[in-house]
Each structure stands twice: as structure tokens, then as C-alpha cells.
Amino acid sequence: MRLRNLRSRLTLGVLSVLTVVFVIGGIVVAGVSDRSERSGVDDRLRRTAELSDTAALAAIEEDSSDQQGRDPRLNNVLRATGSSLEATLGSTPVFEAGVPFPTLSDAPLGFSTRKIDGRNVRIYVTTLRVDSLGGLSRLQATTSLRQVERRQRELRERLLLTGILMLVAAGIGTWFAADVVLRPLRRLRRATRDIAGEEDLSRRVPEQDGTEELRALARGFNDMLERLGRSAAERNRALEATRRFAADAGHELRTPMTAIQATLSTIARHPDMPGETRQSIAQDALAEQRRLVALLDGLQALARGDANPVEHAPVDLAGLIADGVQSARGTHLGTTIEHEPPTEPVVVVGWEPGIRLILDNLVRNAVRHGRPGGTVRVTLDGGAAPRLLVEDDGPGIAPEDRDRIFEPFTRVGDEVDQRPGSGLGLALVAQQVGHHDATIAVDASPALGGARFVVTF
């Protein structure tokens, strides 16, 4: 069965490792105990042989084969331990004590293990120190390994039972420990499920719960949410800008397109109209076409500004405005544009093309609404909150119109239809002012008498 639960997998993994450790440990402990037990048996056999060689030598020297019972204490001790002691001369037993075992004349000197009547026995064979007999006299100490094997079997059973109990305890402990460890992960899962259900990318998951790995996972998830949020915001801005462009284009382009269509229809219906009239009508159509192009350019600029947020960087306002004023002087030759740049750099964080768009549109608006051949003044005040001031000498803007002039296609005054422009310049200014977290205010110019626009960064 495939485990899908992390807690189950963690418990199974810990139990698998512990099982391997317990098995290896049990094998090592059982092996060490078995070697210790068998070493004890060998020591006992050796000591028994060493302590009994005197009785065996006496039996050989007396040449008697009925020596059993001469030393009752030795006989009782050997029987109690399931052991036997036998001395042989050649192949003839001359001394026996303890539990009777068959004589194994082929047993080698030293220690060996044999199976007799279905049971394992341990044998120790040595030669007796009788110079006259050479190596014909042997002393054989034999003991049953039944008790050793029983104790080893019981030890293995205890180790197995202990290991099983420890594995059960470890499994239960790991299960509950994993529940505690994975609790922050479950909270993280619930938080992500809620975010996905509500589709609220502004929410964040907690980053302070759990281990460092879980906190790192939460931070990574929040970073992903932030990127997704920015991407969704940019997509929404792009969609909104597209809808706005389509709506504004459909609304504002209808009038010039209708005028151009009417002009072309008039020319087509009256091919014999006088040349002066035809030229005048064509000039009107050309003016509407220019207005159409200006509308399209303004709408595209608004859409790009709404849809494409850009990275801001330090910008020297003094140098940027000085360049913009110089360019405006070459464009608006009939208007005097006054500007005295500050002596020190004035640095703000922003988008240079956007700030230049603010200046160009304010200067263009001042030239358009000022007196013909009049004066426009551009001033830059430094300080903690730099200010850009653009003033003209025109009729000014009425207080009730100062808020709505920044809306697209809003044009005020008595001669709205005769003034050139698309009505989008100040809307572009307001858009870029908002992107730069700046403010813009309109009042009357105390020096020139017209309108004064103040942009505070």
C-alpha cells in the first residue's frame, strides 16, 4: 500500500531504521553472549582437567579401571554440570567420573564440538604427564551444551520481545512527535487552501511557525504570492487600460471621424464646387485628421502608463528640467520660456521619461493657454520635498475647474472648440504624478497672473 500521509511515511522510515539497528544490535549481543558462554565452558573444562589429572594418574599407576566413586565430590560436581571426565590408556578407559559419555578416541587434542545422541557436547582432550607412556595416556573432559544453548535461546527470545516492545513504543512516539512537528505544515496548508479558495493574493502565510525548513518554505511561498500578486496587478492594469482605451477611443474618435466623413462626402457630391471652397473644406478635414492623430497618441500614452509600471531610479531633476526647457524653447519660438536652474543637483527617485512627460505637457499647456507671444516661467525648488512650478500669463483657471481639468478630454474656458489639443495632456500629467507618489496643485500665478501648476515630489 502506498503511503500518502507524510506522518505515516516518517513513522515508517523511523521504524525501518530502528528495526535494522535492533536486528544488528541483537545479533551482536547474542554473538558476544554466546562467545562468552562458550569461553566459560572451555575454561571450566580446562580447569576440571587440570584439577583431576592427579586422580587420573593415580588410576593409571594403580592399573585399575574401576576408579569411579573414589572421589564422590568430583563425581557429584561433574554430574551437576552435565559433564564427564575420562582417562584412557590407549583405547582403554582407566578412570571415569560424572555423566557417562561415549569414549571418543578420535577426538583431537584441544577443544572440539561433537553431536552425540542428538545433542551438542563440548570436548577438551589433553595428554597426561606420564613419561613412561609417552602420548598414550589421554584425559578427556566432556560437557553438554544444552544449558548454554537454552540460555542463548532464552536470550534471543528476550531480545526479540524487547525489540518488538521498543519498536512499538518508538512507533507510537514517532507518530505523536510527527504530529507535533507537522502541525505548522498543516496550518500552512490550510492558509494556502484559504488563499486559493478566496483568490486573495494579498494575504500571506505565517513565517514564524515551525522549524527553519518550514519557515523557509513559508517565506518562499510568500515570495511566490508577491510575484503572483504583482503579475495579477499588472495584468489587471493592462486589461483596464485596454478597456479604457477602447471606451475612450470609441467615444472621442466618433466626432472627428464623422466630420472627416462629412467633408469627404461633400467633396464627392459636389465635384464642381469652387476651388476656394474645396480647399477650405479640405483644410477642415486635415485639421480633424490632426486632431484624430493627437487623440490616438494621447490615448496610447495613457494606456501605456496604466499598463506598464517601471522601475524607479535616482534622477537629477535640475539637469532633466534644464534639458526639457531648452527643448521647449526650440519648439515654441513665439513664447518666452524663463528658467533659472538651481546651483546644486536636485535628486529624486523616479522614472526619467515620466518626469520629462510631466514637464513637457505642463509647458505645452502653459504655452497653449497663455497670451500669444507671452511668457512661461519654469522654477525648480530644492529641499527635502522638491517642487516643480510652471506658470503662464493667460486667463488662469477658475477654482471650480481646478480639480476636473486632470480628467481625460476635459477642456474648460469660453473658446474650448477653438483651442488646439486633445484634452489628454493634463490627464497624462496626473497619471505620472500618481506613479511617482507626488502631488499636483493648481492656483493663480502671483507673478504672471495666469495659472500656476505646482508638482511636489
The pLDDT value recorded for residue 161 is 92
The pLDDT value recorded for residue 87 is 77
pLDDT along the chain (457 residues), means of 10: 69 88 90 88 85 67 51 76 78 76 76 84 80 65 86 90 91 84 76 74 71 76 79 71 60 62 78 79 72 61 57 88 88 89 88 86 90 93 90 91 80 53 74 88 92 94
Distances (CA, A) of 21 to 17, 29, 171, 359, 405: 6, 12, 14, 78, 82
The pLDDT value recorded for residue 389 is 94
Cell of 131: 613419561
Angle CA(107)–CA(91)–CA(79) in degrees, nearest 5?
A: 65
Cα 420 to Cα 287: distance, rounded to the nearest angstrom: 10
Residues in the chain: 457
The pLDDT value recorded for residue 249 is 56
The pLDDT value recorded for residue 417 is 43
The pLDDT value recorded for residue 341 is 87
The pLDDT value recorded for residue 64 is 46
pTM above 0.85, yes or no: no
Beta pairing partners, 93: 88
The pLDDT value recorded for residue 106 is 74
CB 56 within 8 A of CB 95: yes
Place of cell 502608463: 305
Distances (CA, A) of 211 to 180, 184, 185, 225: 11, 9, 10, 21
Backbone angles phi, psi at 347, to 5 degrees: -105, 130
